[in-house]
Amino acid sequence: MAFQVNQLHILLVPLMTQSHLIPFTDMAKLLAQRGPTVTIVMTPLNSLRFQTFISEQTSKYRRKIQFLVLPFPCRENGLPQGCENMDSLPSPDLVPNFFSACKFLQEPLEKWVQEKMEFGAKPSCIVSDFCLPWTENIAVKFSIPRFVFHGTSIFSAVCNFRIVTSKVLERIESDSDPFQVPDIPDEIYVTRGQLPHAIRQSLGESLSVKVNEFKAAELSADGILVNSFEELESKYLNEYIDIKKKKKIWLIGPVSHMNRDEILGSVTAHDNCSIKWLNERTKPGSVVYACFGSLSHFSSSQLKELAIGLESSNRHFIWVIRKDDFYSTRRFEEWLEEENFEERVKERGLVFRGWAPQVSILNHPAVGGFLTHCGWNSTLDGVSAGRPMITWPMFAEQFHNENLIVKLLKIGVRVGVKETVKNHRRDEDNDVQKGLPSFVTRDDIKKAIEDLMDEGDEGEERRRRAKEVGEMSNRVVEEGGSSFLNVSLFIQHISEQLKHQS
């Protein structure tokens, strides 16, 4: 039996957090453009967040995308009611509770699949977030091919693997001692204090156990999808394939870039205030865009330092700050009002609260640089827009991404942070904060902006390289490009698997 592409039905199961939901919805649009029907698992509040995003930007194929809304058991798992997204957790201590609540999605999802099977409409495959190992149980129970999606760079995965397997950390005495990442193609140095928590701590800790569960579930998957592209990390692709036990791997990114034209048109049509503000900046490349993602949290002391650093740079800037940054935002908002900060900088600075149209902002001709936390989604957004970056990593694999940006691609400058953020909500307004290795001073921020926006030979060369990488990211998603072909090969693989099962 031959399967037509438009007969395929792909079930996407993301982790309920913005940095994972966004690439999953982008991937849904990407797949739907090629013919398959796509169902995305959502929870009630997350579905409200993303419904407009899907419907407004998928006019040609939105009927091919649907949400499966499942209840999220907050109170049963010790979470505040309505806490359905990891970026709304009131404390990082509740992360284990959040993962426990995610596991409760398994039973209603199994029921849904069972009902589909009774009508002869079983999903053709499952594409699961690598953080959700329980999806393996559903795939086995109903004999559905399962693929794992990674929203992180292959460079960071190779670095972490080499650090763990070489046991180099056993020879490191201090969190601040630099050491060379062993057995990789480039000379890269990191410190233990810059590594993801699960790697730098003992394997007996609960988070490390959770990571091991992720790895075990990945081993049983039929293949791996990665939000990256071959040309960006070519030296590390073969090593990544070896690490993943020669599994089938498709690099299909940057998934957000594949929908860029629709995103730009949609936001411009709505006359978003940030775009209106940028339209008034007539000098190309004159604005610094500062944004730190959905899971990064600053102390109020650090927010004040950042504000003063941006102001003292004497550059135009858009600064996105979170509205729900727990305790620190309230104190910082009070400081902004006391200092009359926004009025003081209004001719050259815009403080933007909440969600900002990042892709549209970065692609605006007035923007010349990106101050980023080095999350992978943001890194790819900066790469795709051809913008040089100031790197301010905070946790997880972000220091590896910093090395990719600064050392390998040579399109960024470091702000100077030395290790991951720890307990930043304590002593918020205390000078103790300023002595921490994760604290960045106003002078550091000012200097990084000056270096990035420098109009001399070094700055021009950095901008030239960033533009080249951006053009490369354009080519890979066009017909005949590597990511375009990988999407086709993935869909073809699903069709062939179903053909053999029939």
Beta bridge partners of 352: 320
Residue 350 lies in a domain: yes
Tens digits of per-residue pLDDT, 219-229?
A: 899 999 999 99
DSSP3 helix / strand / coil % (the chain, rounded to 5): 50, 15, 35
Contact 378, 257 (CB under 8 A): no
339 with 240, same domain: the answer is no
**198 inside domain:** no
463 found inside a domain: yes
Q: Are strands 37-42 and 287-291 parallel, antiparallel or unpaired?
A: unpaired
Mean pLDDT of the chain: 90
Please indicate, yes or no, whether residues 494 and 364 belong to a single structural domain of this protein.
no
Whether 337 and 455 share a structural domain: yes
Residues 253 and 336 in one domain: no
* In a domain? residue 314: yes
- Among 186-190, 261-265, 291-295, the range with the most confident prediction by mean pLDDT is 186-190
Do the domain assignments include residue 305? yes
Distance between CA atoms of residues 346 and 339, nearest Å: 13
Q: Tell me the per-residue pLDDT of 91-146, one tens digit each, with 9 for 90 and over.
A: 888 999 999 999 999 999 999 999 999 988 899 999 999 999 999 999 999 999 99
Same domain, yes or no, for 343 and 252?
A: no
Q: What is the CATH number of the domain that holds 45?
A: 3.40.50.2000
- Quick one: 484 and 469 in the same domain? no
- Residues 405 and 317 both lie in one domain: yes
45 and 21 within one domain = yes
Q: Considering only CA atoms, which of 450, 451, 426 is closest in space to residue 436?
A: 426
Are the C-beta atoms of residues 461 and 467 closer than 8 Å to each other?
A: no
CA–CA distances in Å: residue 357 to residues 55, 293, 360, 377, 459: 16, 12, 6, 13, 26
226 and 373 assigned to the same domain: no
- 91, two tokens: 């404390």
> Please, which residues bridge with residue 224 across strands?
148, 249
Domain holding 343, by residue range, is 269-475
Check: CB of residue 474 under 8 Å from CB of residue 383.
no
**Alpha-carbon gap, residue 352 to 292, rounded angstroms:** 12
pTM: 0.93
Same structural domain, 341 and 440: yes
Over residues 281-293, mean pLDDT: 95
Q: pLDDT band at residue 329, thresholds of 50, 70 and 90?
A: confident
Structural domains of the chain, count: 2
350 & 459 share domain: yes
Same domain, 80 and 19: yes
